Amino acid sequence: MNFNFLLTLIGSLIIITIDSTYLYFNKNFYNNIIDPSVKMNLISAILIWILIIVSIQLLVLSRDNLTQGKVFLYGILLGLAMYGVYNLTNASMYPNKWSIKIILGDTTWGMLITGITSLILYNIGIKYL
């Protein structure tokens, strides 16, 4: 599957919806490390989500001989790399705030959302694009 701008837009809407819903309902999980009075930089957040979708297209969906199982697995591995680097970097810089619970929980969430989003985009790309 080739890089597709429409797939980037669709994927961005999907991941923004899923991730922002997750963050809203799980805000207590992050209370120990994130000051609730600090407002999120929406432009940076949107750019991060777009980078995740572009990474999915370039590193997962561009592979040969894809099946749904492979797409999900590659998406999970991409999520492990991206969210793992993010969480372990933060843990190295903020050792008193970034607990093993946060590292494992957020990295697991990143693996799931990246795997699921990869699978959704694969199925949309196969059927409609």
Q: Domain segments of the chain: what residues? A: 5-128
Question: How is residue 28 annotated by DSSP?
Answer: G
Would you call 31 exposed, middle or buried from its count of C-beta atoms within 10 A (0-12, 13-18, 19+)?
A: exposed
**pTM of the complete model:** 0.92
Cβ atoms of 71 and 60 within 8 Å: the answer is: yes
Mean pLDDT, rounded, of the chain: 93
- Average pLDDT value for residue range 7-22: 94
Work out the pLDDT band at 24, boundaries 50, 70, 90.
confident
Positive or negative, the CA dihedral 61, 62, 68, 72 is negative
Which residues neighbour 97 within 8 Å (Cβ) at sequence distance 6 or greater?
32, 33, 90
Q: Tens of pLDDT along 32-50?
A: 787 778 888 999 999 999 9
Percent of the chain exceeding pLDDT 90 equals 81
